[in-house]
Amino acid sequence: MAKPKTIGLPRMLVEAGEKRVFLPEFVQFLSGLGLKVFIEEGYGSRLGYSFDAYRRGSGDRVVRCSREEAFRQDIVLILRCPAEEEFEKLGKNSVLFSMLHFPTRPLRVARLKELGIKAISMDSIVDDYNIRRVENMKAVAWNGLDAAFDILEKRWPDLRRLDGLPIHVLILGTGMVGKHAIEAATKLGHTERYEDHLAAGGPGALAISVGRSITRQPEQMERLMRQTDILVDATYRRDPSKPVVPNAWIAYLPEHAVVVDLAVDPYLPEANPPVVRGIEGIPQGNLDQYIFYPDDPNWTKTIPEGIPTENRRPTVTCYSWPGIHPEACMNHYARQLMPLMEVLVEKGYDGLSMQGGFFERALYRGTLKAFLEQHPE
């Protein structure tokens, strides 16, 4: 059972606006585990970090390298999944540790399996209570709602509806993201905005959260949507091939209503069955553009042909909501990853099992081999 001796940190290249990298303190933690850390040339520069900041306190245990060399290390740690054409850069025994989203990326899973890659998906690491150990759901909810209230505030100064009633927020989904969305909605997406609103005598916001029992009833959904100012998709669907809100239902929303996409599921028409978005006909945004108005020329750029888009409302959608505040985001992930990295370095990928300790069991559940055991062909 080979234990990892090196770790590579490639940069994330999915979006031009992506600034997130693991911070120097976390790199020093990794070197303290006995790992030699290979960081790609330019790593952290967009956040103002120099190579010297990364190697401070670690000396020659932190090495600057090419992208290709970073991918050849025993562990390859990168928050967002690299492009699939880069999978072949991985070393023969490298472990890819990333947000791989096994349940909604069947083609990615097939490619990883085909290449025999040892993979751990951060988003699949769950403890004995089925609670994710690597997540930033709070940032997803708050950053998304903050953007939505920004749009409404341009229409209604001080967020005061013309009729004086509270802003109505309808949240689809009652899981972890939905729970954070309730708090974010009632605080107007930002505590500073909320305190100013209260001090000025504002009416606040009313948040209603609904689950599958309501979203399956078209008549109930029409009634709720007609009085909604902000519609939030925080669903986790058992069947991602079917939308929760068909595009035709968008017509029920008032013209000023804002759609908030927190689920950020992709469009994957080539999958079997195809994967569609929870709210049909909305675009998929990113850190470079996460606000879309109905007449935006980029609206259909990420939407496959055949998906109806006729009914539109201002929409905020971002594949990487936590990335809007990159340093806070990466500090958060680092704290969650520390006990997991200790286990991975001690046990190695092949040594992980369900007979180990608390964090080992959680880490094992995130492996590709565990996913394939649960989803055999």
- pLDDT recorded at residue 1: 54
Question: In 41-113, which ranges are E strands?
Answer: 62-65, 75-80, 95-99
Distances (CA, A) of 175 to 32, 73, 121: 36, 36, 20
Three-state DSSP at 371 gives: helix
CA distance 235 to 162: 31
Strand boundaries in the chain, DSSP class E: 6-9, 36-40, 62-65, 75-80, 95-99, 118-121, 167-172, 205-210, 230-233, 258-261, 291-292, 315-317
CB neighbourhood size of 160 (10 A): 17
- Domain over 6-134+326-374 is classified CATH 3.40.50.720: yes
Distance, in Å, from the CA atom of 325 to the CA atom of 339, rounded to the nearest integer, reads: 24
260: left (phi over 0), alpha (psi -120 to 50) or beta: beta
Q: One fold for both 6-134+326-374 and 137-323?
A: yes
CB-based contacts of 354-361 (< 8 A; 24+ apart in sequence) = 358/127, 358/128, 359/133, 361/127, 361/128
Residue 340, both tokens: 């997991």
Return d(Cα 96, Cα 82) in angstroms, integer: 10
Question: What is the spatial distance between Cα 281 and Cα 193, in angstroms, rounded to a whole number?
Answer: 31
Burial of 150 (0-12, 13-18, 19+ CB in 10 A): middle
Given the DSSP bridges, would you call strands 118-121 and 167-172 parallel, antiparallel or unpaired?
A: unpaired
Q: Which fold has domain 137-323?
A: Rossmann fold (3.40.50)
Q: On the CB side of 10, how many CA atoms lie within 13 Å of its CA?
A: 25
Q: For 254-264, b where at least 16 C-beta lie within 10 A, e where not — what string?
A: eeebbbbbbbb
> pLDDT value at position 236?
87
Q: Report which DSSP code applies to 267.
A: P
Question: Which one, of 46, 101, 95, 21, lies nearest residue 333 by Cα?
Answer: 21
Residue 345: its H or E element: helix 326-347
Residue extents of the structural domains in the chain: 6-134+326-374, 137-323
Q: Residue 152: its pLDDT value, please?
A: 97
Using the CB atoms, write b or e for 179-217: b if 16+ within 10 Å: bbbbebbbbbbbeebbeebeeeebebbebebbeeeebee
Pick out the chain residues at pLDDT < 70. Answer: 1, 377
**Coil, strand, or helix at residue 51?**
helix
Main-chain dihedrals φ then ψ at residue 294, nearest 5 degrees: -55, -30
- Return the percent helix, strand and coil in the chain, to nearest 5: 40, 15, 45
Extract the tokens encoding 279.
Answer: 């709210």
3-state SS string for 173-236: CCCHHHHHHHHHHHCCCCHHHHHHHHHCCCCCEEEEEECHHHHCCHHHHHHHHCCCCEEEECCC
For residue 104, how far is the Cα from the chain centroid?
A: 13
User: What 8-state DSSP symbol labels residue 263?
Assistant: S
Relative to beta strand 230-233, strand 205-210 is unpaired
